[in-house]
Structure 1
Amino acid sequence: MAKWNKATFLTSAKDKCEPRVQTVILDLIRFAEKDADHVSWGRGEGYGTMTFKCKSDDYGIIPLFHITTNGQIKFQLNYLRQKVRGKEILRDYQLKLES
């Protein structure tokens, strides 16, 4: 069972992050709740995570990014390199992140 949920995640982020970062975190959570096929909450002790996952016809459910209660956003590029065989998909994803 997940240790983190939306309420505990936001409470922890408010304690650890500046107000502008808190706003971005809240916007990303709302975006995930609206557009993700699945949102998962972490089980870690040191900090919380929320992972944005989407369904793919070819690869199943894949995580695209996760955010932490420390105010970090991490893109799952290395995981996608292992899971997704289409190099053009990864190249497009990386180019969009860089722009």
Structure 2
Amino acid sequence: MVKIRLTRMGRRNRPFYRIVVVDSRKRRDGAYIDSLGFYDPLKDPAIMNVNVEKAVEWILKGAQPTDTARSILSKFGVMKKVHEIKNSKKEGEATE
């Protein structure tokens, strides 16, 4: 199964995270398939950046975001876009 999750970067006591697409069997900081953005929790306010198009594409392919990744993606409207795309496909099938 493919997951969208955070991989830890940075130094000791200064965490910085990348939002990545990874096989769920890989370790937390292991090799990843694709990078979607980053999250820096130490800044005030926290700095986040996500490539929305890539994130939507991966979720539609079946990637499952973790709870934290889902929260970050929701702030960028990714989950809403995915929901709208899935609903438009269902409506298209229902009208046929």
Query: Same fold by TM-score, threshold 0.5 exceeded?
Result: no
More strand by share: 2
